[in-house]
Amino acid sequence: MGRPKNGKILKYAALIGLVYFVFLMQAMVFPHLEILGTKPLLLPIAAVGIGLFEGHERGAVMGLVAGIYCDLSFNQPTVEFTLLLTVIGLLAGVVFNRYLDDGFPSFLVVSTLALVICAFVQMFPLWIYRDVSLLALLKTALLQTVYSLIFVLPIYHLCRLVGRIPYRRF
């Protein structure tokens, strides 16, 4: 019932700092570095990484934070990424805890799946309600996913680095 340990505060500060850093890259740096008209989507990769190294509970909480930041970066009032990245962080933690090895190849596969799901969520309303060509949407989704996958390795290492910070000091 005493004060929280310094290690716990440091850990959560590092997790929030990681998500905020990835948000800054996604919202302020990469919009100026378009490739074939697409920009990378980095926050889902961070949600998967936190789920991998921190488990499903912290993956869901930090996925919620990442989702809020993601919705802010798209400058839209919806909460689709807030909900989606919460679920992605939660499921990534469960999948890595129960079914997959916690190495980079598994992280790459789960990150790719998360990015494809995010691309589908982005393109679905455009396809259904605005009658945009499905082929054009699929091309954009593929380009965005491939561009985002370039950053899987650096985000994996950042998440692993934060994951090594202990919760308690002895």
Range of the domain at 133: 6-163
- Measured from the Cβ of residue 114, the count of other Cβ atoms closer than 10 Å reads 27
- The pLDDT confidence band at residue 61, using thresholds 50, 70 and 90, is very high
pLDDT at 170 over 50: no
Q: How far apart are CA 66 and CA 83, in angstroms?
A: 10
**Higher per-residue confidence, 167 vs 97:** 97
Q: pLDDT tier at 169 (50, 70, 90 boundaries)?
A: low
Question: What pLDDT sits at residue 56?
Answer: 92
Residue 48 lies in a domain: yes
Report d(CA 103, CA 107) in Å as an integer: 6
∠ CA(26), CA(158), CA(144), 5° rounding? 35
Q: Which residue has the higher pLDDT, 56 or 3?
A: 56
Cβ atoms of residues 62 and 54 within 8 Å: yes
Q: Is residue 168 part of a domain?
A: no
* Count of structural domains within the chain: 1
Q: Which pLDDT value is given to residue 77?
A: 64
Cα 107 to Cα 119: distance, rounded to the nearest angstrom: 18
Write out pLDDT tens, residues 108-157: 999 999 999 999 998 888 888 888 888 988 999 999 999 999 999 999 99
Would you place residue 25 in the very low, low, confident or very high pLDDT band (cuts 50, 70, 90)?
very high
Q: 37 or 65: whose pLDDT is higher?
A: 65
In a domain, 65, yes or no: yes
Residue 169 belongs to some domain of the structure = no
pLDDT at 79: 87
CATH number of residue 50's parent domain = 1.10.1760.20
pLDDT of residue 11: 87
